[in-house]
C-alpha cells in the first residue's frame, strides 16, 4: 500500500519539518476497525484506553477499562485506545503505509472515536504522527511550533495548550492522511461521529541516549585510567581551575564515550517495548523442530526487533535485549523483519548459530511459534 507521494521529497521537505496533507491517500478506504469494535477493546483490562471530555473550557480524562455504560455519556467526548496494532492484525498492516521509516522508530497505532464535536483539545506531541481518517470527517487545525516552554492549561493531566495560533486547517475525509511533525500544534474536532487511525513514531530522549552510552563506556572502562596532563604550563595562581584544565577534562571524558564500539546500548534502548514482554518456550525440542522446518516463527504483536551489522558481526535486538552472532544469520533476520514470519530450514553451515539466535528471539518474546 504505497502512499501517493514522492518518498524522497517527503523525507527531504516534510519529515520532522513541515506538515503534509495527503488527499485520498487510500482511495475507497474501508477502516479495518469499527467504532463498536474499538469500544469493545476498551472494555478489556489489558488495553490502555482513555475518554476525554470538555465542558465550557474544562477538560476531563477518564481511564479504562470501561463498561458499556461509560459510553452512554452526553456528547461531546472522545475515546482513545493505544496500541491497537498489538490486538488487530489488520490495524498493524497500516504501518506498512510508512515502511520507509525504520521499524525502530515506530511506536504504535492509536485509534480514536469521537462524537460530533469531540476533541482532545489543542496540543502538540514530541513525536511524528500520520493521521489517517477512518469513518466520518474530522476538522484539523494546525498552529504554531511548540516546545517544553509553551504554556499549558493547568489543572489537567492533558497537555492542552493555553494559546493556539492557527496557521492552516483541513477537513479530512475517509482515506485522507495528515502528517504532523513533532512540536507542531494541532487540534482535531469531529464533524459528526468519526474514527481516526494515528500511526505514531517515537524517538529516544537525548538524555536517555547519553545515559546509556555513558553506562556502556563505564562498563568497559579501565578503572586505572586517570586524568592526565603532560606538558602543562606552570600555574601562576595555585587555586585556579583553568579553562584549559576544563577543556582537557572534557576531551578525555568525551574520548571515553567515543571509544564505545558496541552498538548494544542504542539497539537495546530503541527496542524497549511499550508493555512488558513475555518469552516463549525455547526448549531444545522446539529449536530442533524449527530447524527442520516444522512450525513457523511469527513476530509477536507489539514486539520490537531490529538488527545491525558491524565489524563482521551481526547484532540482533528484541524487546530491549541484544544478541551478537554470525553474519550468516542475516537472511533469516531480514526475512523475519520484512515479512513478520519465518520458516527456518537451516543450512548446515548456519545451524548452530541460527539455533542460538532462535533461542534468543523466543526467550525475549520477540517471536512465537505457530
Domain boundaries, the chain: 7-201, 267-369
1 pLDDT more than 80: no
So what's the pLDDT on residue 218? 92
Residue range 250-296, pLDDT digits in tens:
999 999 999 888 999 999 999 999 998 889 888 898 998 888 888 88
pLDDT over 80 (residue 46): yes
Please tell me the pTM assigned to this model: 0.92
**pLDDT: which is higher, 347 or 14:** 14
CA distance 343 to 326: 19
Q: Which one is predicted more confidently, 303 or 2?
A: 303
The mean pLDDT value of the chain amounts to 94
Query: Is the predicted pLDDT of residue 345 greater than 80, yes or no?
Result: no
Q: Is 39 left (phi over 0), alpha (psi -120 to 50) or beta?
A: alpha
Query: Would you place residue 350 in the very low, low, confident or very high pLDDT band (cuts 50, 70, 90)?
Result: confident
pLDDT at 43: 98
What is the rounded CA–CA span in Å between residue 111 and residue 90?
Answer: 13
Tens of pLDDT, residues 172-215 = 999 999 999 999 999 999 999 999 999 999 999 999 999 999 99
- pLDDT tens by residue, 53-99: 998 888 999 999 999 999 999 999 999 999 999 999 999 999 999 99
Provide the percentage of residues in the chain whose pLDDT is more than 90: 83
CA triplet 80, 83, 89: central angle to 5 degrees? 120
For domain 267-369, give the CATH number: 3.40.366.30
Looking at CATH, the fold of the domain delimited by 7-201 is given as Jelly Rolls (2.60.120)
Looking at residue 147, its pLDDT comes to 93
Q: Which residue has the higher pLDDT, 169 or 220?
A: 169
Q: What's residue 55's pLDDT?
A: 86
In this structure, what C-alpha cell is assigned to residue 127? 513525536
Question: Considering Cα of 74, then 76, then 82, then 83, what sign does the dihedral take?
Answer: positive
347: confidence class by pLDDT, cuts 50, 70, 90: low
Amino acid at each position: 500500500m504505497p502512499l501517493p507521494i514522492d518518498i524522497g521529497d517527503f523525507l527531504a521537505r516534510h519529515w520532522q519539518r513541515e506538515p503534509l496533507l495527503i488527499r485520498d491517500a487510500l482511495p475507497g478506504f474501508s477502516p479495518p476497525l469499527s467504532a463498536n469494535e474499538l469500544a469493545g477493546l476498551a472494555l478489556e483490562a489489558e488495553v490502555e484506553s482513555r475518554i476525554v471530555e470538555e465542558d465550557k473550557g474544562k477538560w476531563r480524562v477518564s481511564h479504562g477499562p470501561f463498561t458499556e455504560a461509560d459510553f452512554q455519556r452526553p456528547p461531546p467526548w472522545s475515546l482513545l485506545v493505544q496500541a491497537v496494532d498489538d490486538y488487530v492484525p489488520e490495524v498493524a498492516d497500516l504501518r506498512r503505509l510508512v515502511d520507509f521509516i525504520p521499524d525502530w522508530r515506530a511506536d504504535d497505532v492509536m485509534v480514536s472515536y469521537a462524537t460530533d464535536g469531540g476533541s482532545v483539545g489543542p496540543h502538540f506531541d514530541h513525536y511524528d504522527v500520520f493521521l489517517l481518517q477512518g469513518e466520518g470527517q474530522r476538522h484539523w487545525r494546525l498552529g504554531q511550533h511548540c516546545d517544553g516552554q509553551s504554556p499549558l492549561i493547568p489543572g489537567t493531566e492533558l497537555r492542552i495548550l493555553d494559546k493556539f495560533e492557527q496557521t492552516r486547517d483541513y477537513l479530512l475525509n475517509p482515506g485522507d492522511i495528515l502528517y504532523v511533525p513533532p512540536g507542531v500544534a494541532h487540534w482535531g474536532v469531529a464533524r459528526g461521529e468519526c474514527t481516526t487511525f494515528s500511526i505514531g513514531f517515537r524517538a529516544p530522549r537525548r538524555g536517555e541516549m547519553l545515559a546509556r552510552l555513558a553506562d556502556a563506556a563505564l562498563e568497559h572502562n579501565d578503572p586505572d585510567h586517570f586524568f592526565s596532563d603532560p606538558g602543562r604550563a606552570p600555574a601562576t595562581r595555585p587555586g585556579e581551575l583553568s579553562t584549559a584544565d576544563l577543556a582537557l577534562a572534557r576531551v578525555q571524558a568525551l574520548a571515553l564515550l567515543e571509544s564505545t564500539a558496541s552498538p548494544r546500548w542504542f539497539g537495546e534502548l530503541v527496542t524497549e517495548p511499550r508493555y512488558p514482554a513475555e518469552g516463549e518456550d525455547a526448549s531444545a525440542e522446539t529449536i530442533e523442530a524449527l530447524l527442520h522446518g516444522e512450525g513457523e516463527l511469527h513476530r509477536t504483536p507489539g514486539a520490537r526487533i531490529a538488527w545491525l551489522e558491524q565489524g563482521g558481526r551481526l547484532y540482533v535486538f528484541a524487546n530491549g535485549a541484544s544478541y551478537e552472532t554470525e553474519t550468516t544469520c542475516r537472511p533469516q533476520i531480514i526475512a523475519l523483519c520484512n515479512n513478520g514470519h519465518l520458516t527456518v530450514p537451516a543450512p548446515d553451515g548456519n545451524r548452530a548459530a541460527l539455533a542460538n539466535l532462535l533461542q534468543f528471539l523466543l526467550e525475549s518474546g520477540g517471536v512465537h511459534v505457530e
